[in-house]
Amino acid sequence: MVTASERVNSIQLYKDNYYVSGIIMFCKFCNITIDHKNKSKVDQHLNTKKHKNNKTAIERRNIQVNNKQNTISEKDELNLELVKVFTAAIFLWRRLIS
């Protein structure tokens, strides 16, 4: 008999879609248990409309989060450049007035 860990680790497709907690196999996207003993059920779940919709929705959210993080990083870089420019301006202003 195949264990849940052996089933998940058998191919990359399963690693990308399932995880094991204890001795139980779960779908990462649907958060439901999967009968790991029956390979056809494992494969069938990947082809369900619910799984495909959940996976697409989660992947879209992850892309949006990554885009927001990149935007924040760009803003941080802009702020750092502004601080550098203003610091240089203050330095020059102090040299001029002294």
Residues 35-49 have pLDDT tens digits of: 999 999 999 999 999
CA-CA distance, 87 to 24, in Å (whole number)? 58
| pLDDT tens by residue, 78-87 | 777 888 787 8
- pLDDT score, position 76: 75
What is the DSSP-derived secondary structure letter of residue 3?
A: -
Residue 90: CA count within 13 A, CB half-sphere: 6
pTM of the model: 0.63
**Confidence tier at 15 by pLDDT (50, 70, 90):** very high
- pLDDT score, position 16: 95
pLDDT of 68 > 80? The answer is no
**Confidence tier at 70 by pLDDT (50, 70, 90):** low
